[in-house]
Amino acid sequence: MTFDLIIIFLVSILLLLAIYTAIQFRGKFPKRTVDDVTPFLRPSEFHEIEALMDPGQETTFRLRMPPSEFAAWQRKRIHLMREYLLRMSHNALVLIEWGNMEALKEEERGPALGREKQLLAQELVQAATEFRLYSMLALTKLKLWLILPSLISLLLPAPSLPSLRNVFGIDALGTYERLKTAASGLSLAYNNHFHNELVERL
């Protein structure tokens, strides 16, 4: 009986995942070209993320504030961090779609043409996919911090945002910098206006 319930539970999870994937696929942007990149990017405020992950700043405030005051302040910062990560995760998805289209386009042209552009597109997809994975893991952690019961929050010290600099071996800041570099390199294959606008949004 217990074994049957476990099987039913696992099959239900797989079914839900399949439905979710199908919905995501149906809602996917159709063939994202260079014209469909910058209008869909959201301001990421990368320097703000760096400040939120600064261990020195957080330690200073943790020492200067009473625990209850610091916990309230930290909760607002967690919300802010979540907002920025949602934007950056969205941008990573846009760049994955664009990079995939660019790589496919260059592949159809043949190996002799645009090999460098194809490599740049593949590097962009790789970096953006890595950051997208990081952001999903970090966002899950942030959500858990926010829904922790108040009683547990009183018993435990407030969570530390610098601990999110590295999640499951993925360096957040380094990976996003690599994403920006790859996007910058690929955008230079078009024109300076597109390059400047893309870099400014990221």
- CB under 8 Å to 12, separation ≥6 — which residues? none
pLDDT score at 34: 79
- The whole-angstrom separation of Cα 123 and Cα 179 is 8
CA within 13 Å, CB half, 173: 15
Residues 94 and 105 in one domain: yes
pLDDT score at 144: 87
Residues 94 and 16 in one domain: no
Residues 162 and 145 in one domain: yes
Which residues of the chain fall below pLDDT 70? 1-30, 106-114, 149-155
pLDDT score at 10: 61
Residues 45 and 115 in one domain: yes
pLDDT score at 23: 47
pLDDT score at 15: 63
pLDDT score at 95: 92
pLDDT score at 200: 85
Residues 54 and 6 in one domain: no
Residues 66 and 81 in one domain: yes
User: How many domains is the chain partitioned into structurally?
Assistant: 2
Residues 47 and 134 in one domain: yes
pLDDT score at 25: 45
- CB under 8 Å to 101, separation ≥6 — which residues? 31, 32, 33
Residues 5 and 80 in one domain: no
Residues 13 and 104 in one domain: no
Burial 126-143 (b: 16+ CB within 10 A, else e): bbbbbbbbbbeebbebbe
Token pair recorded at residue 96: 């994955």
Q: How far is CA 120 from CA 129, 170, 181, in A?
A: 14, 21, 10
- The whole-angstrom separation of Cα 23 and Cα 107 is 28
pLDDT score at 117: 79
Residues 65 and 139 in one domain: yes
Residues 80 and 127 in one domain: yes
Provide the residue range defining the domain that includes 3: 1-30
Residues 130 and 187 in one domain: yes
